[in-house]
Every structure is written in C-alpha cells, then in structure tokens.
Structure 1
Amino acid sequence: MVIKRVDEKGELIVETKTGDIQVDYHTAPASLEVAVQNTKGDTTVNLANLTTTKKTDEEVNGTIGAGENSMHIKSYSGSIGIK
C-alpha cells in the first residue's frame, strides 16, 4: 500500500496484516505524533525533526513539534517506510 502526498492534518491510521506500507508526506510535518509498529519486516522512518521516545526493530514512537496531529501505522508482516 502506497500513500503519497500525505498532509499532516488530523489523524492518519493505516493497518495491514500482510503487505508493505509506504507513506510519503507532501511537505515535512511540523507537528506530528508518530507511532509505528511492525511485527515482522523492515521499518524505516525518515522524518525531519523527529524526536524518538522509542526506537526498536519492531516499534518507532516519537514526536515532531507539539504533536498536534497523529500518524499510527501497524503491520504484522511487511516493510514500512515513512518519509
């Protein structure tokens, strides 16, 4: 699943049992809460100014700015890429 030209406003929730997830932001987020979980697969989160609170092979959590908007991504089997 590829989601392109995403706007950071509001809440973005994406979950898949099997398959890759790619999220491409239109412009760099300025105020975003990030929560990414991946049970099996590669995870790459490449967002400017992300302050991570947790970063493991299976989970990436953090905030950009005040975290007024949110992104929750979850995959049970597949790669996740966020930029």
Structure 2
Amino acid sequence: MAEGLVAVTVVPAKNKRGAPDAEVLRRALRRWSFNVTRRDEPKPPEIDAALRRLARNSVPLVALEEVGTVTKALDACARKLDGKPAAPEY
C-alpha cells in the first residue's frame, strides 16, 4: 500500500523546481511518512527537508475533484519507476 501512496503523492506537487532527489523523496515517504511505527522518529536532515518541502508544495485535497489531477495520479500508478508499464493488479 505504501508504494501506491508514494506513487501518487509525488505527482501533483504545485512546484517541481528545487524538488528533492526523487529517490530521497520516495524513501522519506516510504520509511517515515507512510510508516506509522517510524513517523515520529528523528529523521536525517535530507529526509526532513524533503518532507517539509513536499508539505509546502502539495496540492490541496480538494484538487482530487479535478479530472486532470486524478488522471496524473492514475498514470503514475500505471508505470514503474523505469517508465515501463506496471502490472495490471498494481
């Protein structure tokens, strides 16, 4: 479930300029934000910075009412990190 959340969380950011490295952001989400057992643990500085930036640049939840936002999220789920199609059950 965390992998699916990571895939769609990073897509609808408002401003991609100055974004953290994609792997750092995915690691931050997977290992801290979407991991309730580690969420409140101290984070390395690059992880903390990536999560703070994502919080500042994420679109509001109401944006999920827009077809374009949902389409981007679904497209992200349909592709693996290397750009190849994901398995249909993913």
Structure having the larger proportion of residues in strand: 1
Q: State the structure with bigger RCO (CA 8 A, min sep 6), 1 or 2.
A: 1
TM-score by length of 1: 0.21
TM-score by length of 2: 0.20
Larger Rg: 2
